[in-house]
Amino acid sequence: MSPTPEMFRRAMGRFATGVTVITIPEDEGGVHGMTANAVTSVSLDPLLILVCIDHRAHTLALLHQRKQFGVNILTEEQEALSRYYARPDRDHQGALRLGVRYRYTQRGTPMLEDCLAWLDCRVVATHEAGDHTIFIGQVEEIFIGEGRPLLFYGGQYRRLDVEAQ
Ligand SMILES: Cc1cc2nc3c(=O)[nH]c(=O)nc-3n(C[C@H](O)[C@H](O)[C@H](O)COP(=O)(O)O)c2cc1C
């Protein structure tokens, strides 16, 4: 039997991942964030990372335009942020209600406060692949924080009872 999208989804749901929010600066000091777990480290020399963006996502055009993005790796305490940044109907008021705070890198990329880690990236290549585009970013700045990771497994948020080292 040929594999179906549903089987693919179930199989890949067995690949446990962390959870990130991709952040991009918008005009007039705004910030666009989107929850993403299709994020992978690519290369150590140079430092490269990739994120796969759905062609239906608003993030796609903004990333092509700005060519910079933050990868914010979430702690288990930030599950509400992950849910919020995955909602299609989110607005800035919702972020305020959740108490979202940003800090800015030297290049002006907005980053979420209190993450497990974040990486500031400059887009160096894109590749269309089916209904997603792969954005490859060169890592320009890194922050390493503390806490326990938020995980995504089997279509659900999970926790790991281990502190980051
Ligand atoms: C755990 C989780 C992981 C996700 N990973 C991705 C991803 O890697 N790429 C993607 O395009 N969408 C991903 N999504 C879906 C987007 O977060 C969601 O469609 C969002 O509303 C898109 O926002 P935008 O239209 O503002 O870009 C994920 C959602 C969840 C809950």
- Domains defined along the chain, listed by start: 5-158 (2.30.110.10)
Q: What is the mean pLDDT of residues 140-150?
A: 97
User: 110: CA distance to ligand 1 center in Å?
Assistant: 18
Ligand 1 atom with the smallest distance to the CA of 86 is: 17
> What are the tens digits of pLDDT across the range 93-115?
888 899 999 999 999 999 999 99
Going across the sheet that includes 20-25, the strands are 31-36, 20-25, 68-73, 117-129, 132-144, 47-54, 39-44
pLDDT at 33: 97
pTM: 0.97
- The 3 state secondary structure assigned to the chain is CCCCHHHHHHHHCCCCEECEEEEEECHHHCEEEEEECCEEEEEECCEEEEEEEECCCCHHHHHHHHCEEEEEECEHHHHHHHHHHHCCCCCHHHHHHCCCCEEECCCCCEEECCCCEEEEEEEEEEEEECCEEEEEEEEEEEEECCCCEEEEECCEEEECCCCCC
pLDDT at 164: 79
Mean pLDDT of the chain: 96
Most ligand 1 atoms within 8 A of CB, residue of 21, 54, 87 to mutate: 54
Are residues 134 and 119 in contact, defined by beta-carbon separation less than 8 angstroms? no
User: 104: CA distance to ligand 1 center in Å?
Assistant: 22
Residue 165 reports pLDDT greater than 80: no
pLDDT at 111: 98
pLDDT at 93: 85
Q: What is the mean pLDDT of residues 41-52?
A: 98
d(CA 39, CA 18): 9
Cα-trace Rg, the chain: 16
Q: What is the mean pLDDT of residues 116-135?
A: 98
What band does 117 get if pLDDT is binned at 50, 70 and 90? very high
Residue 143 has a CB neighbour count (10 Å cut-off) of 16
What are the pocket residues of ligand 1 if the criterion is a CB atom closer than 6 Å to any ligand atom? Answer: 19, 34-38, 52-54, 57-59, 86, 88, 152
